[in-house]
Amino acid sequence: MEDQWLADYEAAKQTAADTLQLIQERNLKYPEGGPEASRITATCRRKLGTLGGLLDGLRTSLEGPQLEGLTEAERNRRRDLLSELRSRRESMLAGLRREAPAAARGVLLGGATTGGSSGALGGSRGETDTTAELGNRGLLMLQSQVMQQQDDALEQLERSVHSTKHIALQINEEADLHNRLLDDLDEDVEGTSSRLAAAQRRLKLVMRRSSGCKASLLLFLVALVLVVVLVIGFKLAIHL
């Protein structure tokens, strides 16, 4: 059965990707603002509000009893996924603040924001040799590349976890099979022991009966010898 938590997480991640695309479209097409830029900004704010609700729901369900079967390692992995997505949401909220170009560049570089959140470029602060040569549009493209690299790394981690999960399930199935074989072996041993005990009882009975028959045969032979002796003695007595 599909993991509903992971399905909800994928929906939240898709919402974040759609919002980021809208922000980049607004910044690239309408750098000076205007009605269309305001419309896109309002749409992005609504999406980020929805994303915040999804993240809160995911966090609540992750700590709730419905996922109590998760291992601690898997639970921590999912907490990291939520933390990464929440940081991305905060970065996009910062990117929506259409301030002066210098301030906007500071947001893109990961400088201090009103909410004190990490920047879009992995939380780095200040100019670097790479960003110093880029304009705001170049910074947006670099931001997109960094976030895509993060997505790829998370997807690779997720595939590794799923592969480990499948291996664990196969090991569990093998262990169950071996347990069933051991149970069958125990039943066979118990059956063999029962049959052996019955055979021993029958053997003892036969031996007892055989002992009785030998005594009767011996008495019969003794009686027969006595009869023969008497007959011979009687015949000799007649002849004499």
DSSP 64: S
Residue-wise pLDDT tens digits, 203-225: 777 767 666 676 677 777 777 78
pLDDT tops 90 at residue 12: yes
Sequence-distant contacts of 127-135: CB under 8 A, at least 24 apart: none
**Cβ atoms of 108 and 128 closer than 8 Å:** no
Q: What's the Cα-to-Cα distance from 17 to each of 21, 22, 44, 156, 180, rounded to whole Å?
A: 6, 9, 11, 18, 49
Instruction: Give residue 237's pLDDT band: very low, low, confident or very high (50, 70, 90).
Output: confident
The whole-angstrom separation of Cα 54 and Cα 89 is 11
Residue-wise pLDDT tens digits, 70-113: 788 888 898 999 999 999 999 888 877 643 344 445 545 554 34
Q: What is the 3-state secondary structure (H, E, C) of 12-36?
A: HHHHHHHHHHHHHHHHHHCCCCCHH
Residue-wise pLDDT tens digits, 25-66: 888 888 777 888 888 888 999 999 999 999 999 998 888 777
Q: What is the pTM of this model?
A: 0.41
**Cβ atoms of 87 and 116 closer than 8 Å:** no
